[in-house]
Amino acid sequence: MAEKSCRLLGGKEASDFVASMDAFIFDCDGVLWNEAGPLDGAVEVLQELRKLGKQVFFVTNNSSKSRAEYVKKFEKFGIQASMEEIYGTAFAVAFYLKEILKFDKKVYTVGTTGMVEEFDALKIPHTGSGPDQSSGGYNVKEWSTLTLDPEVGAVVCGFDEHFSYHKLIKAASYLAKDSCLFIATNRDDRFPFKSSDVVIPGTGCFVISVEAAARRKAKVIGKPERYMFDCMKLCHDINPSRTCMIGDRLGTDILFGNNCGLTTILMLSGISSLADVKDCQTSSDLDDRKSIPDFYMPSIEALKAPIKH
């Protein structure tokens, strides 16, 4: 198989490229900000793209916040963004249940208060968020007599700082019924923090646990699956051939963009490196081959010059 190239986007090619695109989809963590705050150039690049009349969207796998909470986060960082431009996995899961599946039962949630805000916004009944009610000890009798809500028709697994053995029992028990839907927000295995040696497990670790306990696989809504782009297309007029996906992670952002037929740019300001691109170029795994970006740039700041020219 011929090796797909991935080259530095710069100079006149970068200015021509910006002119040729109508829409820019930004991954958030690692492109616009990291744990220390907004990245240099993010505010200006977004402002300038808007001045040029480009459509901008934000796509994040982080399920911990609702769209309303994201608007506040963007505001705090000085980046203008409206709810309609922000696609987080908490919103996307609620939208999928309500608008695509016309789901009318109750959801058992492994998730944050931000995630259930999106269920509330779409009037989807739910149970399970917050700390569990268990006594905390090794108590088989208590576990085996837990009450299950007969109204539950789906388990949604996202990031949950209160994830526990008790929640795992409940999720697996609901999922013992084949008719119970099993949806996960994303499979990111770790938080993308670079500033500490501590490993912070991500949502993918919860999803794998529930899958193991339930002996079933979840349907994933977040990147690299194309669902969030389909959702975006339902609400906005978007031409994939004139849309660019900008991300920092090959296996989520770039694979997502390539899966959706978009032009992809890897920003080297986050998780993936050029060595990772090389690994994908020489890999025999199909998903790796589909995770090769069209271009790379050092960081969002490098987009400033091409936008202004």
Q: Cβ closer to ligand PLP: 225 or 306?
A: 225
Burial category of 234 from C-beta neighbours within 10 Å (exposed 0-12, middle 13-18, buried 19 and up): exposed
Within the chain, residue ranges assigned H as helices are 11-20, 42-51, 67-76, 89-95, 113-121, 140-144, 165-175, 203-214, 227-235, 255-259, 274-282, 286-289, 304-308
- Quick check: 30 binds Ca ion (CB under 5 A)? yes
Q: Work out which of 9, 18, 26, 27 binds Ca ion, going by CB under 5 A.
A: 27
- CA 59 – CA 195 distance, rounded (Å): 23
Identified catalytic residue from 22, 27, 120, 188: 27
Does residue 188 bind Ca ion (CB under 5 A)? no
State how far the Cα of 75 lies from the Cα of 70, in Å rounded to an integer.
Answer: 8
Q: What residues make contact with ligand PLP under the rule CB under 6 A?
A: 27-30, 60-62, 64, 159, 186, 188, 191-192, 202-203
Distance CA 186, CA 208 (A): 11
Query: Which of Ca ion, ligand PLP, none lies near 64, with the C-beta cut-off 5 to 8 A by kind?
Result: ligand PLP
**Is 104 an active-site residue?**
no
Binding mask 223-262 for Ca ion (x = CB under 5 A): -------------------------x--------------
Q: Give the nearest distance from C-beta 193 to ligand PLP in angstroms.
A: 8
Residue with smaller CB distance to ligand PLP, 186 or 272: 186
276 binds Ca ion (CB under 5 A): no
In the structure encoding, which two tokens stand for residue 128, read together? 């399970």
* The one catalytic residue among 22, 29, 178, 285: 29
Least distance from C-beta 148 to ligand PLP, angstroms? 27
Q: Rounded CA gap, 163 and 224, in Å?
A: 24
The one of Ca ion, ligand PLP, none whose footprint includes residue 60, by CB under 5 to 8 A per kind, is ligand PLP
Residue 190's nearest CA partner among 25, 35, 1, 9 is 35
Q: Which is nearer to ligand PLP, 27 or 294 (CB)?
A: 27
Tokens 């939208």: give the residue: 95
Residue 159, contacted partner among ligand PLP, Ca ion, none, CB below 5-8 A by kind: ligand PLP
Site residues for Ca ion, window 78-107 (CB under 5 A)?
none
Residue 56 bridge partners (DSSP)? 24
Amino acid at 208: I
| Distance in Å, CB of 8 to ligand PLP, minimum | 22
Nearer to ligand PLP, 185 or 243 (CB): 185
Closer Cβ to ligand PLP, 35 or 99, answer by number = 35
What distance in Å separates the CA atoms of residue 62 and residue 296, rounded to the nearest whole number? 23
Q: How many CB atoms lie within 10 A of CB 142?
A: 14
Question: What DSSP character marks residue 251?
Answer: I
Cβ nearer to ligand PLP, comparing 27 with 276: 27
Q: What is the CA radius of gyration of the chain?
A: 20
CA count, 13 A, side-chain hemisphere, 55: 20
* 27 in active site: yes
List of residues contacting Ca ion (CB under 5 A):
27, 29-30, 248
Which residues are part of the catalytic machinery? 27, 29
